[in-house]
């Protein structure tokens, strides 16, 4: 069978499964999710054996230590996967909710009701626990899912999906076996073939680095929901509580720098720059944060303490390209600005529409910032690190979108639904 035919069958089977999933009740879906969670725990030896094969492949392929750590499935991570499924089971069912209801003059009752999207392709890298997260969210929202992880995690992804499907079918004999599928080949052309099935695949969601996401967008013929990168900003206004600003800046940059909602650029109002940088430089230095500074902040930081006074900041002059960069590391851009307008203009030019924050005690300034900064999440006196499905109370998260049509920001169950109109008549005709 050709690769094209193989992907066509995969999509066709998913489409058929999606029609069967639409018939399941909330009780049936939740029972399946609980069974899947228990099955993952019971299958821990088999999952770890498959994962060991992937780790050996990763080492022979030269994967970095960080990538191997993301790939590894130990007992704690398998337990976390199971717990994630149980949490999804406890969330409200997003399907079948009446979003709007109206009765027209002739007595025709119209209802706008939430429904599954249909068939969703999810493309991701390294972390095999995404297989369980994505599959559970798609299943709870009534969608069939086709999963394509990185080639380094193929064995792990396949056994996780197989375990989940087998558990669901034992619990519910009518569970469609193709509701959760893993692309069985690492061939890169499989993605192009799969994403050309416009009559069968309804949506693609890539998760990973900017390179992966851009490659998917360029080859896909089906709609794609994505965010390219997270160049997030914190602006410390002249009316900021500087102790609060220091805590937030440190958290936004250094708590977990390798995630998309970590701050990459710190903007500081010139009126308080000297005092704030004196307060913040020590905490940032203690986390070994390297500063890429504009000329004004470079001058201030260089004058704060002798270079040999521990802890010493590593300071470099920022280039224009630095302000476009998502480091995913302990590196922070710094720029002093003379006004709110300059801060907003900087974010508009260099930002990625992901998450941005203002620190200020002035309500009017905060509201102006929040209205004018066009990002998926905009904060006042809070860290950008809150842009996350769990922190937003969505339970598990399937990704973050910076698109403006459709889902935006953290995507949970509700964002995996569409809607349709149902009309209830008593013989009405249009004249």
Does a structural domain hold residue 111?
yes
Same domain (yes/no): 213, 350: no
Give the mean pLDDT of the chain: 94
Cβ-defined contacts of 209-212 (< 8 Å, 24+): 209/125, 210/326, 212/123, 212/125
Q: Are residues 84 and 7 in the same domain?
A: yes
pLDDT, one tens digit for every residue, the chain (431 residues): 899 999 999 999 999 999 999 999 999 999 999 999 999 999 999 999 999 999 999 999 998 887 898 899 999 999 999 999 999 999 999 999 999 999 999 999 999 999 999 999 999 987 899 999 999 999 999 999 999 999 999 999 999 999 999 999 999 999 999 999 999 999 999 999 999 999 999 999 998 888 989 999 999 999 999 999 999 999 999 999 999 999 999 999 999 998 899 999 999 999 999 999 999 999 999 999 999 999 999 999 988 765 444 567 899 999 999 999 999 899 999 999 999 999 999 999 999 999 999 999 999 999 999 999 999 999 999 999 999 988 898 866 788 999 998 899 999 999 999 999 999 999 999 99
By the 8 A CB rule, do 403 and 205 touch?
Answer: no
The CATH code of the domain that includes 342 is: 3.40.309.10
- The answer to whether residue 399 sits within a structural domain is no
In this structure, the answer to whether residues 182 and 93 fall within a common structural domain is: yes
Q: Are residues 268 and 357 in the same domain?
A: yes
Same domain, 278 and 374: yes
125 within 8 A of 208, measured Cβ to Cβ: yes
State whether 159 and 49 are in the same domain: yes
**Would you call 134 helix, strand, or coil by DSSP?**
helix
Whole-model pTM: value is 0.89
Q: State the total domains in the chain.
A: 2
- Containing structural domain, residue 196: 3-226+407-424
pLDDT at position 305 is 61
Tell me whether residue 430 is in a domain: no
**What confidence tens digit (pLDDT) does each residue in 365-407 have?**
999 999 999 999 999 999 999 999 888 988 667 889 999 988 9
Distance CA 81, CA 53 (A): 20
Enumerate residues 6+ apart whose C-beta is below 8 A from 428: 106, 107, 108
One domain for residues 257 and 372: yes
What CATH number corresponds to the domain at position 143? 3.40.605.10
**391 inside domain:** no
User: What whole-number distance in Å separates Cα of residue 67 and Cα of residue 346?
Assistant: 33
């Amino acid at each position: 069978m050709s690769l094209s035919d193989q992907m066509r069958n995969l999509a066709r089977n998913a489409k058929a499964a999606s029609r069967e999933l639409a018939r399941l009740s909330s009780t049936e879906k939740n029972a399946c999710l609980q069974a899947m969670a228990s099955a993952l725990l019971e299958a821990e030896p088999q999952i770890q054996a498959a994962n060991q094969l992937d780790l050996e492949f990763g080492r022979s392929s030269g994967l970095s230590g960080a990538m191997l750590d993301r790939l590894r499935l130990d007992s704690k991570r398998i337990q976390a996967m199971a717990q994630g499924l149980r949490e999804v089971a406890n969330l409200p069912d997003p399907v079948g909710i009446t979003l709007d209801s109206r009765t027209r003059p002739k007595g025709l009752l119209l209802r706008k009701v939430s429904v599954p999207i249909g068939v969703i392709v999810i493309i991701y890298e390294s972390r095999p626990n995404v297989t369980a997260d994505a599959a559970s969210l798609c299943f709870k929202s009534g969608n069939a899912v086709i999963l394509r992880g990185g080639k380094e995690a193929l064995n792990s992804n396949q056994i996780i999906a197989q375990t989940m499907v087998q558990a669901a079918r034992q619990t519910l004999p009518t569970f469609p076996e193709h509701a959760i599928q893993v692309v069985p080949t690492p061939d890169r052309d499989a993605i192009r073939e799969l994403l050309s099935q416009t009559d069968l695949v309804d949506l693609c969601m890539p998760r990973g680095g900017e390179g992966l996401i851009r490659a998917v967008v360029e080859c896909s013929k089906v709609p794609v929901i994505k965010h390219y990168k997270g160049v997030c900003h914190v602006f410390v206004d002249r009316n900021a509580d500087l102790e609060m600003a220091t805590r937030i800046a440190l958290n936004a940059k250094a708590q977990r720098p390798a995630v998309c909602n970590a701050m990459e650029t710190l903007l500081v109002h010139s009126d308080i720059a000297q005092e704030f940088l004196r307060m913040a430089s020590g905490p940032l230095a203690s986390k070994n944060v390297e500063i890429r500074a504009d000329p004004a902040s470079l001058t201030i930081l260089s004058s704060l303490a002798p270079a040999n006074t521990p802890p010493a900041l590593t300071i470099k002059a920022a280039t224009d390209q630095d302000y476009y960069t998502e480091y995913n590391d302990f590196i922070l851009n710094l720029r002093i600005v003379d006004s709110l307008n300059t801060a907003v203009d900087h974010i508009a030019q260099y930002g990625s529409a992901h998450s941005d924050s203002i620190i200020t005690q002035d309500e009017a300034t905060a509201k102006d910032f929040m209205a004018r900064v066009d990002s998926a999440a905009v904060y006042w006196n809070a860290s950008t690190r809150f842009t996350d499905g769990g922190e937003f109370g969505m339970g598990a998260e399937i990704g973050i979108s910076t698109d403006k049509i459709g889902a935006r920001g953290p995507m949970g169950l509700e964002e995996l639904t569409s809607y349709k109109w149902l009309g209830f008549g008593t013989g009405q005709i249009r004249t």
